[in-house]
Structure formats: C-alpha cells, structure tokens
Structure 1
Amino acid sequence: MAGSIETGSAAPEFVLHGGVLRDGEFTRGTYLLDAAREHPLVLAFYPQDNSSVCTKQLCSYSSGLEQFTKLGAEVWAISPQDVESHEEFARTNDLRMPLLSDPDRTVAKLFGVAAPGVGLRRSVFLIAPGGRIAWKHVALVGLTWQPLEKLTAELALL
C-alpha cells in the first residue's frame, strides 16, 4: 500500500458509479468529486457490504445523517463491491447515504488506503469546501471506526 494522502493535500479527483436509497427507491448515478467541492464531504472507505463491522459503521452514519446535513456535509461510502451489492446492502439496512463502487480499488489507491488481502483499509477523509483534505483516519486494523460524534466535531471546525 502506498502512503495515505496527507492532510492539507488536495483530494484527488475521481468518478465512481453508485446509488442512494431515498423513499424506498434506489437511484443509481455517477458521482464526481469535483461536483461536491462546494461543501464539506465525508468519504468513508469500508471493506465489504454486509460484514458485521461495516454494517454497524454505516448504520451509525446513516442514522445520524441529519447531524452531517446540519453541518452542510454529505457522506459518501466507498467499497469494492458492485452497485447491485450496494443496493441490497442499502435496502437491507436502510442506508441513506450514497454507496459507491470501486471494484478495482482505483480510488482507494489514489487515497492510499488499498491493502493487499483485505481490499482496503477502513478509512475516513473529511474534505473541506474547495477540495482540501481537512482530516483523516486510516485504521490499521479494520475492527473499529470513527464514531459520528468525532466526525461531526471535526466537521464543525471547518
């Protein structure tokens, strides 16, 4: 794994396919980082749909989505699974943030969180308006995640 992108650096541009569950409809689309540069963005890299730790993490973020929204932020979650897997994962757990597919781990590599054997490291990047990495956490072991309270406290500082 290459080193993780540094805080203060410009977030690398990317385009990924994904979808979001709203009012029972899973809407597929293309997500461009460049289109989200006007407001704070939380990028949560997670290893796998439907795993126990990933499910707990994303359910936590989804149930607290209004707290992110109050701070003007969007939350995008990225993993290697395809969009079909993401749709099932979102429907099963009522996940309300976009789930993006990075099957060849191109974006994970850009952010320095691709890991041989496990796919990617559980990581969170807070991207400030304008596209600068304002804060990050890259887990060495993916059994824990950054809680909603920590992320919203860091977002409040932007």
Structure 2
Amino acid sequence: MAAFFQFWSPSADAQIKAGDKVPEFKLQDQNGNTFDIATVVGKQPLVIYFYPKDETSVCTKEACSFRDSYEDFKKYGAMVIGISSDNVASHKSFATHHNLPFTLLSDPDQKVRKLFGVPKTFVIPGRVTYIVDKKGVVVHTFNSMKDGEKHVTESLEALKKMN
C-alpha cells in the first residue's frame, strides 16, 4: 500500500516543465468568480505564478513587480495570474491594497499547486512561475523563493523569445 501511495503522490518529478501542456483547472478569483483556464488557453500567452502568501514581504514585492510591468505583459498579449492558498477575501484585500490589475486565484486546498507539482520549501509553499504559449504549452518555468522580482524579468524574457 505504501508503494502505491508513493507512486501516485506528487513529487519533484511530477512538476510541470517546459514542453508540457498546462493542466486544466477552475478556481475562484479575487472577486469570487469562477476562473476556468480552458476559457483562456488558445487565446493568449499566460504567465501563471504560484506564491506562498498575500501581504508577506517577498510576495508583495513580486506582486508589485508584476503590477509595475503589467503594460509590458499587455504588449505581449499575456494574461498574468497569481495563485496562492489564501482565500478570496484575502486576495481581494491584497489586490485592492496594492492596485494589482491582474487575476489572483484562491487555491485553499492546494489542489492546483499539487497539479502543477510546485515544490515546498520545508513548510512554505513554493514560488514558481510558468509561461504558457497560445497553444497551452509551457515554454518556460522559473523557481526561486528568494527573488520574487526575478520572476517578472524571467517571464518577460520568455515572452520576448516567443514573439
């Protein structure tokens, strides 16, 4: 039985990587609306970033960096999506407090985080960004807990290469 559990449990090997199709999922956004990734795949590039927690130091710097570069993302036609396990109300407050113009999704059970295979660092949920092309294929990933702002520069560089 233990071997069966290990076989099916997410591991670092299960992490979504370049060349993989983006998994399908539905989550609630900061306004309480259901976001279905299937409605945007095939229409535009996606920048999906997982972060540990609203209003924490590095996460706030990361979100504000995405906000400050938002016009650059729009030039590439990309949709920016932030995902953490915080609830809808926390995301709404975070987005309002920092004037975040992009979608924040609530993943309270961390099902989507596990679907992507985002690794944990001890007890802290990981910080990983995925760049997805119009066809729904992951073209770049970036994993860094310490430098949230580098996720933005990595994302923009990947989008530039796609064009």
Q: TM-score of the superposition, structure 1-length normalised? A: 0.88
Which 5+ residue runs of structure 1 have no aligned equivalent?
20-26
- Separation of aligned partners in 1, 2:105 and 2:151: 20
**Any conservation in 1 of the 2:142–2:154 contact (CA below 8 Å)?**
no
- Give the percent of matched residue pairs that are identical in Structure 1 and Structure 2: 34
- Select between 72-81 and 107-116 the one with higher mean Cα deviation: 107-116
Cα displacement (A) at 1:28: 3.3
What SS is found at the alignment partner of 1:157? helix
What SS is found at the alignment partner of 1:67? helix
- Separation of aligned partners in 1, 2:67 and 2:34: 20
**Any conservation in 2 of the 1:105–1:114 contact (CA below 8 Å)?**
no
- Separation of aligned partners in 2, 1:87 and 1:12: 25
Equivalent residues, number? 148
From the two aligned structures, give the one with the greater helix fraction.
2
Cα displacement (A) at 1:114: 4.5
- Separation of aligned partners in 2, 1:112 and 1:97: 23
Note if 1:109 corresponds to 2:114: yes
- Separation of aligned partners in 2, 1:59 and 1:6: 26
Matches for 1:1-158 after TM superposition, within 5 Å:
2-3=11-12, 4-19=15-30, 27-37=31-41, 38-115=43-120, 117-118=123-124, 120-139=125-144, 142-145=145-148, 146-158=150-162
Superposed structure 1 runs of 4+ greater than 2 Å apart: 145-150
**Any conservation in 1 of the 2:129–2:151 contact (CA below 8 Å)?**
no
What SS is found at the alignment partner of 2:66? helix
Cα displacement (A) at 1:149: 2.9
- Select between 3-12 and 99-108 the one with higher mean Cα deviation: 3-12
* TM-superposition CA deviations, 1:57-80 (whole Å, max 9, x none): 000101211100000101000000
What SS is found at the alignment partner of 1:28? coil
RMSD over aligned CA atoms reads: 1.4
Query: Which amino acid is 2:154 matched to?
Result: K
Q: TM-score of the superposition, structure 2-length normalised? A: 0.86
